[in-house]
Amino acid sequence: NSLPILPDDERELLLAGFNDTAHPYPRDVLIHQLIEQQAAQRPDACAVRGDSGPLLTYA
């Protein structure tokens, strides 16, 4: 009735392994405070990235 396209291990890697991107962050700090911290630490770093590369820095 159905034919799997991928073996189970490859399917699991695509659906779960490559999607495991969670990172811990301080839960008691608001998002704008985290952005302010990044801006102070790395003012010339990319703040917004588009399809063609960095669009805006924090400076």
pLDDT digits (tens, 9 = 90+) for 6-58: 899 999 999 999 888 898 989 999 999 999 999 999 999 999 999 887 789 99
Predicted TM-score (pTM) of this structure: 0.55
| 1 confidence band (pLDDT: 50, 70, 90) | confident
Residue 43 neighbours by CB under 8 Å, 6+ apart: 57, 58, 59
Q: What are phi and psi of 36, to 5 degrees?
A: -60, -40
Domain boundaries, the chain: 25-59
